[in-house]
Amino acid sequence: MHYQDALAEEIRDSAARLLAEDVGPGDITAELIPERQWARARVITREDTVLCGVAWVDELFRRLDTRVTLRWQAADGDRVAAGDAFLELEGPARALLTGERAALNLLQTLSATATRTRHYVDLLAGTGVRVLDTRKTLPGMRLAQKYAVTCGGGHNHRIGLFDAFLIKENHIAACGGIAAAVDEARRIARDLPVEVEVETFAELDQALAAGADVIMLDNFSLEDMREAVQRSGGRATLEASGNVDETSLRAIAETGVDCLSSGALTKDVKAIDLSMRIIEQDG
């Protein structure tokens, strides 16, 4: 399945899951409100953020009640300043309140991922080095967080175990060496990229000789990364991995590697503080 098709399916499925887990057989508190009550509400952010999750929220409220209208003042990938309202909703009060938590949960998580990514990208400004995510995503949110990374200006590593080879220590041992592992990968799927994780210069040389497309430098020191760049001579894309955070990534980028990957973009983000407030009621 094409990535965009898979993402569209994920948006539909995740909206349904969010509503199912929160609303269940029905929102009993919303039933306190008269059925004909109409309302307007605004969503604001209490901290600077990079917005992400528009399509999910649109789908969520569409499923709840098609009479709800959403007017976005920002798009995915836009910076929104603390205190700004970026969404206005209008429709049945019951539907607005029923969808509030599911919508905010989604927005606060995806916006956090996009915001963290943009922070990393900004720290690397001028280096030309790409920021990559990993498979260390929150359970059930793989495609959503991968999309959020792109909204923050980052790039996706492989989506899963199916769209690229990443040959690591145990694969190498089981296959009988780096050359054998790369040869087998080419035989299985010649059109897919092959990446090899290396821990030593000897393994780096073997991966280069085997024709790996990408070589991951696992926990190399800054000095060793610079040496790896010289040894490679552009024969493969070099990816730095391990101990990559906001305090180290600029120095890593300046060694000359092509990209760096960090699980911190997705696995331990702190949710953005968002709030929805009813601003007008009628009926």
Q: What is the pLDDT of residues 242-252, one digit of tens each?
A: 888 899 999 99
Question: What tens digit of pLDDT does each residue of 155-194 get?
Answer: 999 999 999 999 999 999 999 999 999 999 999 999 999 9
Catalytic position from the list 22, 90, 213, 218: 218
pLDDT value at position 282?
83
**Known catalytic membership, residue 267:** no
Question: What tens digit of pLDDT does each residue of 102-160 get?
Answer: 999 999 999 999 999 999 999 999 999 999 999 999 999 999 999 999 999 999 999 99
In order of 143, 148, 241, the CA distances from 155 in angstroms are 13, 10, 15
Question: What tens digit of pLDDT does each residue of 183-234 get?
Answer: 999 999 999 999 999 999 999 999 999 999 999 999 999 999 999 999 999 9
pLDDT value at position 2?
74
Catalytic position from the list 36, 79, 101, 270: 101
pLDDT band at 283 (very low <50, low <70, confident <90, very high): low
**Known catalytic membership, residue 218:** yes
To the nearest 10°, the Cα dihedral for 29, 34, 38, 41?
A: -20
Catalytic position from the list 136, 226, 235, 267: 136
How many Cα atoms are found within 13 Å in the side-chain-facing hemisphere of 191?
2
Catalytic position from the list 168, 186, 235, 267: 168
**Known catalytic membership, residue 270:** no
**Known catalytic membership, residue 168:** yes
pLDDT value at position 1?
54
Chain-centroid distance, C-alpha 225: 26
How many Cα atoms are found within 13 Å in the side-chain-facing hemisphere of 167?
32
pLDDT value at position 4?
84
**Known catalytic membership, residue 65:** no
pLDDT value at position 170?
95
Question: What tens digit of pLDDT does each residue of 54-67 get?
Answer: 999 999 999 999 99
pLDDT band at 26 (very low <50, low <70, confident <90, very high): very high
Catalytic position from the list 197, 203, 239, 258: 197
